[in-house]
Amino acid sequence: MRFKRFILRIPLHLIVLAFTAVWLVPTLGLLVTSFRSPENIFGSGWWTVFADLFNVDQYTFKNYMQVISKQGLGRSFCNSLTISVPATLISTFMGAMVAFGFAWMKFAGRKILFLLVIGLMVVPLQMTFIPILPIYRWLGLSGTFPGIWLAHTGYGLPLTTYLLYAFISRVPTELLESASIDGASPIKIFYGIVIPLSVPALASVFIFQFLWVWNDFLVALIYLGATPKVVPVTLTLANLVTNQGQNWELLTAAAFVSMALPLVVFLSLQRHFVRGIVAGAIKG
């Protein structure tokens, strides 16, 4: 009986294994290649390193040194941090404020404004660039960090509001009302009760938004593209693809540098990330 069950389950394992291979092999190839010298890369496929995996002579850090210093990826990495951290903090915090306002306060146009926010969540960003660019140039905001912080906040707010609304609207009514009767102001209630209770949701939204901004290419391309010294890693990497198209030792190392931080964040905080996504998609 157990043997029969085992045989019947072989196709199941094979399908799962096939998916795993397709999802793992491309990234593995990138990782291995980024540590090989150009001669080796073009001399033999990256999979040949497994024939002699522990022969350390075949690996090199040169590619990384070169992309980080000479190709300006080190600087872009810092730019990416300078862009993502404030942009994410602002949009998460403002999202919580708006969600609280919509969930717990009465005001004229509340319903229609909230539906507007929900609707705008899916507006293609392409619809916004043409009218904003001239204003940005006029205000001197294009090619600056404050300019991109604002843009990411404006674009991100509908989603952060929506995700946090799902959570904040479920804070127990008695808790807020009794505090209100005791004379706590809405601002006090927000800082003293809602924010502390929402920490798990805020963490999920922060991680979700942080990865989104870090990985963003389009918004940076439009508002920072013309100013090389402030561009994030995604842009520098894309420029490398255009200018160094066949130099795989540089491209693979640069790609890995651009992915390193999101990978660490993802692997260490996967649960929060997943919770944010699931909350937005199923519940809401």
Minimum gap (Å) between residue 78 Cβ and other proteins? 17
Between 48 and 69, CB nearer to other proteins:
48
Between 78 and 241, CB nearer to other proteins:
241
Minimum gap (Å) between residue 21 Cβ and other proteins? 10
From CA 282, how far away is CA 284, in angstroms rounded?
Answer: 6
Q: Are 100 and 191 in contact (CB under 8 A)?
A: no
Between 127 and 199, CB nearer to other proteins:
127
Minimum gap (Å) between residue 91 Cβ and other proteins? 9
Residue by residue, DSSP assigns 171-225 as S-HHHHHHHHHTT--HHHHIIIIIHHHTHHHHHHHHHHHHHHHHH--HHHHHHHT
Minimum gap (Å) between residue 275 Cβ and other proteins? 9
Pairs from 274-282 (Cβ < 8 Å, separation ≥ 24): 275/200, 275/204, 276/163, 276/201, 276/204, 276/205, 276/207, 276/208, 277/208, 279/163, 279/166, 279/167, 279/201, 279/204, 280/159, 280/162, 280/163, 280/166
Minimum gap (Å) between residue 68 Cβ and other proteins? 16
Minimum gap (Å) between residue 61 Cβ and other proteins? 19
Helix (H) / strand (E) containing 90: helix 73-104
Between 145 and 217, CB nearer to other proteins:
217
Between 65 and 260, CB nearer to other proteins:
260
